[in-house]
Amino acid sequence: MKRLILCATLLAATMTASAQNDYTGTWAAAAEWTGPADSPRMTLSGNTLREIVQVSIGGKVLQLQLSNEFSKEPVDIKSVYVADALDSCDINKKSAVQLTFGKSRSVTIEPGKTVMSDDFAYNLKPRQRLAITICYGASMPTNVTSHRGSRTTSYIAVGEVAAKKKFVSAEKLDHWYNIAQLNVKTDGQVKAVAVLGNSITDGRGSTTNLQNRWPDQMAAHLDCGVLNLGIGGNCVVRGGLSEPALKRFDRDILGQKNVDRLIIFQGTNDIGTSHHAEKTANELIDAYKTLIKRAHDAGIKKVYGATITAFKGNGWYTPFHETARQVVNEWIRTSGEFDGVIDFDQLTRDPSDREKLKKEYSEDWLHLNPEGYRVMGEFAAEKLK
């Protein structure tokens, strides 16, 4: 009898693991707390929000995760539908598909929670732009869970706008609200690569609505899911904007579907804002070791370390900060702790001044521009192939 119970338990666990691997992430965004500066001028309560994302891989069956993780009040949602995005806030109405949550069109997301939609059929093409439209109910948090650096325009219309109705934008803003993951059914055959980063990964310096961040450029050369979990101003150890990487890692990286590779490209904010550069360098190295172990323990096969790009010419540059950057980069290159190295520093620095970015790649000597991101994306894709 004990053997039968054990076999049944093992079978159930195997089936559960198999079901979890049926889906692979095609798009994701790191959730954040929303302050007044990043909140809509008009309320979302009783109104309709249309958000645009660009996916990486396609599929025929999808699921969408919504997040209320950083809010203290519930979110009431009347309905959610997706459709092929056209220009501005327009959609291909014939492609619209209504989502359900537990077989109901409406759903309430409790404070600190997420919800996943039921599976839904949709002809999602690789690299296409998808419009996600949320019709909100009466209850909305003061601080809506968001992702500040969408680099993509979202649109708010007055009242509830059904898929077949004309959407008239009353407010435009470059943030995402409540959307967290979009996954496609792949039966585990197609994997995803997740990217942990800060504003350089989040796309500061890229072109709004053109989807030319470096992970976007990388995705154009890979046949796998690419999940950008960068947050502007984010640190690895402490401080910065939003939760540091050590704290958000389980949710933002390990919480993604079917990730088998991870790129860690983060640390410039820790160094640049530090008053004790040598101490910060050592803390970063210890943090990388911790994140590598957590990723491997969770089943991520390869963890790549990306070297920290140069920032001479930017306001926070000092010789002490530069020394810390060099120490950390040398460890990334030579320690053997990472399964692979993506040397963005060597790729993007000025050959005549290794402490500075190439002038054609940056306008502020910290973030890259679209040309710099193109080069980075193509370089990273080659390393992952």
DSSP secondary structure letters along 94-139: GG-EE--BTTBS-EEEPTT-EEEPPPEEEEEPTT-EEEEEEEE-S-
Q: Answer yes or no: are the C-beta atoms of 85 and 153 closer than 8 Å.
A: no
DSSP 323-367: HHHHHHHHHHHHSS-SSEEE-HHHHHEETTEEEEE-GGG-SSSSS
The pTM (predicted TM-score) of the whole model is 0.93
Q: Which two tokens stand for residue 283?
A: 């803390």
For residues 31 and 179, give the distance between their C-alpha atoms in angstroms, rounded to a whole number.
8
Q: Rounded to whole angstroms, what are the CA distances from 242 to 41, 136, 237, 252, 268? A: 22, 25, 12, 12, 15
Rounded Cα distance, 331 and 346, in Å: 14
What CA–CA distance (Å, rounded) separates 99 from 169?
22
What pairs with residue 83 in β-bridges?
131
Chain centroid to CA 326: how far? 27
Q: What's the pLDDT at 188? A: 74
Of 202, 217, 71, nearest to 136 by C-alpha is 71
Per-residue pLDDT of the chain (385 residues; tens, 9 = 90+): 434 333 333 334 333 444 456 999 999 999 999 999 999 999 999 999 999 999 999 999 999 999 999 999 999 999 999 999 999 999 999 999 999 999 999 999 999 999 999 999 999 999 999 999 999 999 899 999 999 999 999 999 999 999 999 999 999 999 999 999 999 999 778 999 999 999 999 999 999 999 999 999 999 999 999 999 999 999 999 999 999 999 999 999 999 999 999 999 999 999 999 999 899 999 999 999 999 999 999 999 999 999 999 999 999 899 999 999 999 999 999 999 999 999 999 999 999 999 999 999 999 999 999 999 999 999 999 999 9
pLDDT at 21: 60
User: If DSSP codes are grouped into helix, strand and coil, which group holds residue 240?
Assistant: strand
Which two tokens mark 200? 């350089």
Residue with tokens 């890979």: 222
